[in-house]
Amino acid sequence: MTLTWLPMRWMIPLLMLGTAAFSSVAFYFYETHQSIRAFEHSKKEDVFRDLFRAASFAEYMLLRQDTAAVTAELSGLATEEGLGALVLVAPDHKVLYASRVAWLDEAVDSIDEDLRSLTLSTPQRMQGHAHFSEDRNSLYVHFPVRFQGDESDIRPMNYGSLVARYDLHPTKQQIYHDVEARLRLFIGLFSLISIFIWLLSHYALTKRVQRIVRSAEAFASGDLQARSALTGMDELGRISDAFDQMADQIQTSIRQQAKLVSAIETMVECVFITDVNGNIEYVNPAFTKVTGYSAAEAVGKNPRFLKSGEHPPEFYQAFWSRLLSGSVWSGQMTDRRKNGDLYYVRSSVVPVTDEKGVISHYVAVQEDITEQLAKDEKLTHAMKMESLGTLVGGIAHEFNNMLAGMVGNLYIARQRAAGKDDVIESIDRIEKLGYRAAEMIKQLLAFSRQGSSEFTSLDLTSFMHETIKLIHVSVPESVELSLDLSDEALVINGDKTQIHQILMNLLANARDAVVDIEKPCISIQLQQIQTDAELRKEHPDAVDSYAMLCVSDNGHGIEEKNISRIFEPFYTTRSVGEGTGLGLSMVFGAVEQHNGFIKLDSTVSQGSSFKLYFPLVDENPHEVDDKQEFSLGYGEKILIADDELAVRETLGEVLVDAGYQIQLAVDGAEAVEYFSADPESFHAVVLDMVMPRLGGVAAAEQMRRIRQDIAVIFQTGYDHDQMTSVSAAVADAIVLNKPVDPSKMLKIIATVVASGK
Amino acid sequence: MNLKLLWSFLLLLIAGCTPAPVEPVRLGTNVWAGYEPLYLARSLGWLDEPNVKLVEFTSTTSVLRAMRDHTLEVAAMTLDEALLLYQDDPNIRIVLVMDESSGADAILARSGIGSLQELKGKRVAAETTALGAYMISRAMDVGQLQPGDLTIISIPANEHTAAYKSGSVDAVVTFEPVKSELKRAGAQVIFDSARIPSEVVDVLVVHDNVLESNRDRLEQLIAAWFRALDYLTEHPNDAAKRMQPRLKLSVKEVLAQYEGLRLPDLNENLAVLSGGNESRLFESSQKMAEMMINKRLIHKFPENDIMDASLLHAMETTR
């Protein structure tokens, strides 16, 4: 039996008290019984002896008839302890002596019943005897006393009796009382010892054990600081030491573990741990974020619920054979989110072995690279466009110059072949082809953004209202053109020319798409869009509001496999000669240049809709001054350098007409020569950037060394980007893209001349 | 909580204990009408029995011996007996005057002996260990007799009748009820306590330690005494009937006993007993002691602290 149902500090004293109580009861019964018996025995003896003496004396005196002596003797017993009554009865039943005067000389009838019956009883033997009453509270003593008989009697045979009754009750009560007093002492002593033991165990044992218990409980319920910190060399002190050391170690390892757990929990990569059978035991929050499955949904399942179906069975065979061999698997895989979307991960799966070297778990770490891939793709696309643009721009520039020469020569050839109709016919055909080439080059230039782009605050609404009037004619009458244009002013930072081209391209595509359609319909829509959560999800860096231009048709739509490629340059579904494959590329590039984006919805045989989003700006639209206002010169001298004769001379004529003086140079070197001969005579220089012998920029730098404040205007057939290589000396030069509108050129020259630079 | 339980357990243990038995206060008397109101009170159930136990003696000698040997705590006796007891046991206190004899004590002689002078040369029975000595001394004073004039035979009171009847003595110094008995047998009174008023006084004597330890019970005893006196006055016949078995007299005779006795009430008691060495009883005890010393009956005077009226004062306040 284990005594564990009470704390020790109670158990020990209570056991002691219990023992004390039990032994007290036993002691009480034993001791009272023994004491009472001993008392009865000794009382009986004493009383018997006293009465024996009294009876002997009485008998002796009675034979001498000296009753006075008998009375004197017996009255000596009157004060004896416990004596209830003492009676001497003569043979004639007359009371000779009684402890009660009232009974004296009376018949025996007058005395107490118990005594009377005793005196009347005839003892079998004439000898004294003592006996107890039934309740043993009274002791009776009876002695036969011989009296003097008749004188004739030889031997006196008359017997009276001496009877006495002793009351034992008070003495017995005293005995009980004494035993109880001893018992009280005994119990008191035990109680004191118990209290002492309780105190001892409380301070030496229980209190200290409790401290250990409390700290252990506190530790178990999460208080890692809990320590018992008992002092002392006893066993409890050593237990406390051991516990505290253990707690230290556990705390350290729990902290370590917590660090690892929090690292895993806060990781951006998904981490999940499976058992050896592949059932998931743990997933981190990133897992839920990436896959959409909560921990509760994932735990206990095999990760194959993420399978996308994009990988062949051989992929998984290789995957498992690598893992089962104990090696780490790393690679890229495609999985499926809870919402059904595919996602791409770069994953590592590590088999974890137990102490015996047997694989017990697998830990998988997956990095979601879906966005990264999309970005990479975009970047690749952009780079492709960039290099293509450069290539195409370069080619187009050269071709343009060549075509200009060709067309000029064709003009001379036609003059010289007058009358030779067959030759003229060939020349016409060549010329036609030349124009087609020129048209194509124009498109190529547009694609490569080598056309001039001028961004201004543009009210797209009024612009659309204007433009629609012009482009309406490009849509056949058989096609229904529905317009839904906002009335509000939608101001964007835009280039009119590019937007015009965008619209033309989209309309051309739409128009082609609705050929053969029963009720062809093209709709153009312009409205303001506030960026909502969905839009922001797709374009995280979207601004708050956009102007949305939508061109849609009910044509035959675009097949899904082609959707991802339609913005690629030179990609076309039309037959050779019908399209350049640059239209949508141009649209894509232009929209990007406007910091916007395109959303395409298309369903085969139902139609397509291109939604173009242009960020709105909080500016007033730039008022376009339609009035041609030429700024005129007053004999100021302008130095012009261009290796193209046509360009050089045309600009010269325009400036002369406007009232300027001019000096023409064929390249940068000649320009520097003219300038250094008389630098102060020039008010501004206009330089082509790319020229043989000495380029425009180098020439400008040399001129600035001669005269620091000379105003410089560059003309270029390339993009602004080329200016990145321009040195600080000419950083303030104005750069204009070719071809330059003569009126714009005049305005700029007027401005710089007026400002003295 | 457990401590509370422990304490209540201990308390229960103590409360459930057998009380120590009370040592009874034993009061010894011989048979004398002046003491009978005690037995009247017992028969009326007014005594705290068995805590107060009346021990019945047939002679004062036994009472004195028992008192001297401390087998009695309280005893009724005459003043001279008290002085006698005082010689051996000075730690006694007189707490109550029970009666004053004015004729109940007497010297009775055979016919033919008519005066004290005629006792010359006669044998006189007397309980010389008690009042008898005093009575005979006072009688000799009054009768102008010398110690050698008569033969004094010391016989305890219960044997007086027998001695007289057997003719072994000519006169008996005795008291009621023997006095009446002898008168019936033809003896005549030649001297009685009426001639020495206020000298034969019965008092209640207590050991001083008992006075301290059993004061409550003694107060109760005194109260029962006065109550019995009242009963005797108010219901003399019933009281006499209750006294009969001890006195062995008829109702009429019992009542006649009290003619030679005065039973002082509380106020009279206080008047006599209170005041220490100023008290009247102390004065008479001094006078008596002087006489007794002269007769060589005793050898020292009592101190004034022998008189103790504290129990009477307690009665006074409770009334």
Mutate: best of A28, A77, A101, A177, partner B, most B CBs <10 A: A101
3-state secondary structure A171-198: HHHHHHHHHHHHHHHHHHHHHHHHHHHH
Token representation of residue B259: 């003619």
Alpha-carbon distance B95 to B102, whole Å? 21
**Residue pLDDT, tens place only, B136-168:** 888 888 888 888 888 889 888 888 888 898 888
pLDDT of residue A122: 66
User: Which residues have C-beta within 8 Å of that of residue A698, sequence separation ≥ 6?
Assistant: A668
- Percent of all residues in chain B with a pLDDT value above 70, rounded to a whole number: 95
CA atoms of A138 and A164, how far apart (whole Å): 10
Give φ, ψ of A640 to 5 degrees: -120, 130
State the DSSP string of A540-587: TT--SEEEEEEEEE-SS---HHHHTTTTSTT--SSPBTTB-S-HHHHH
Using a CB-CB cut-off of 8 Å, the residues of chain A touching B17 are 177, 180, 184
In angstroms, the separation between the Cα of residue B180 and the nearest Cα of chain A is 18
> Looking at the predicted complex, does its ipTM rise above 0.85?
no
Distance from CA of A55 to the nearest CA of B (A): 19
| Cβ-contact A24, A179 below 8 angstroms | no
CA distance B318 to chain A (A): 31
Spatial contact of A353 and A359, defined as CB atoms under 8 Å apart: yes
Domain ranges of chain A: 9-175, 267-368, 377-446, 456-615, 637-755
Topology classification of domain A637-755: Rossmann fold (3.40.50)
Confirm or reject contact between B5 and chain A (CB < 8 A): no
Query: Under DSSP, is residue A529 helix (H, G, I), strand (E, B) or coil?
Result: strand
Q: Which pair of tokens denotes residue A533?
A: 């959560």
Give alpha helix (H) positions in A417-495. 421-447, 460-471
The owner of tokens 């556990």 is A250
CA gap B163, A114 in Å, rounded = 35
Give the number of other CB atoms < 10 A from CB of residue A471. Answer: 16
Looking at residue A307, its amino acid is K
Print the SS3 string covering B266-306.
HHHHHHHHCCHHHCHHHHHHHHHHHHHHHCCCCCCCCCHHH
Measured between alpha carbons, how far is A305 from A301 in angstroms, rounded to an integer?
Answer: 8
Please tell me the distance in Å from A113's CA to the nearest CA on chain B. 17
The architecture that CATH gives domain A267-368 is 2-Layer Sandwich (3.30)
CATH 1.10.287 is the classification of domain A377-446: yes
Distance CA B60, CA B58 (A): 7
The minimum CA-CA distance between B276 and chain A, rounded to whole Å, is: 32
How buried is A630 (Cβ within 10 angstroms: 0-12 exposed, 13-18 middle, 19+ buried)?
middle
Q: Please write the tens of the pLDDT for every residue from B32-71.
A: 889 999 999 999 999 988 789 999 988 888 898 899 989 8
Q: In chain B, what are the domains?
A: 25-101+200-318 (3.40.190.10), 105-195 (3.40.190.10)
Q: Are A757 and A709 in contact (CB under 8 A)?
A: yes
Confidence of residue B11 (pLDDT cuts 50, 70, 90): low
pLDDT score for A629:
47
DSSP letter for each residue of A643-708: S-HHHHHHHHHHHHHTT-EEEEESSHHHHHHHHHHSGGG-SEEEEESS-SSS-HHHHHHHHHHH-T
| Candidate from A71, A79, A110 with C-beta closest to B58 | A71
Mark yes or no for CB contact A79/B58 under 8 Å. Answer: no
Top-confidence residue, B93 or A740: B93
Q: Does B148 touch chain A (CB under 8 A)?
A: no
User: Which one of B6, B18, B58 has the shortest CB-CB distance to A101?
Assistant: B58
Structural fold of domain A456-615: Heat Shock Protein 90 (3.30.565)
Report how far residue B153's alpha carbon sits from residue B128's, in angstroms, rounded to the nearest whole number: 8
Confidence at residue A542, expressed as pLDDT on a 0 to 100 scale: 84
Mean pLDDT, residues B222-237 taken together: 93
Q: Is B58 on the interface with A (CB under 8 A)?
A: yes
- Residue B167 near chain A (CB below 8 Å): no
pLDDT for B205 equals 95
Q: Which residues in chain B have their CB less than 8 angstroms from residue A72's CB?
A: 59, 62, 156
pLDDT of residue A430: 84
Antiparallel, parallel or unpaired: β B188-192 and B171-175: unpaired
Q: What share of chain A is helix, strand, coil (3-state, %, to 5)?
A: 50, 20, 30
Residue of higher predicted confidence among B244 and A581: B244
Q: What is the mean pLDDT of each run of 10 residues along chain A (757 residues)?
A: 69 81 87 91 91 89 85 85 88 88 86 85 75 91 83 73 90 88 84 84 79 89 86 85 91 90 90 91 91 91 88 89 88 90 91 89 91 84 76 76 74 80 85 75 66 75 80 77 86 84 84 84 90 84 89 87 77 64 79 87 88 87 52 81 83 82 90 89 88 86 86 74 59 76 79 71
In CATH, which of 3.30.450.20, 3.30.70.260, 3.20.20.70, 3.90.1530.10 is domain A9-175? 3.30.450.20
Cis peptide before A621 (omega within 30 of 0): no
Q: How many H-runs (helices) and E-runs (strands) does chain A carry?
A: 20, 22
DSSP chain B: -HHHHHHHHHHHHHHTSPPPPPPPEEEEE-S-GGGHHHHHHHHTT-S-TTTEEEEE-SSHHHHHHHHHTTS-SEEEEEHHHHHHHHHH---EEEEEEEEEESSSEEEEE-TT--SSGGGTT-EEEE-TTTHHHHHHHHHHHHHT--GGGSEEEE--GGGHHHHHHHTS-SEEEEETTHHHHHHHTT-EEEEEGGGSTTTSEEEEEEEHHHHHHTHHHHHHHHHHHHHHHHHHHH-HHHHHHHHHHHHT--HHHHHHHGGGEE---HHHHHHHH-SGGGSHHHHHHHHHHHHHHHTTS--SPPPGGGB--HHHHHHHHH-
Query: Is A267-368 in the same CATH topology as A9-175?
Result: yes
pLDDT of residue B12: 60
Alpha-helix runs per DSSP H in A201-234: 207-220
Q: What is the pLDDT of residue A690?
A: 81
Residue with tokens 């696309």: A381
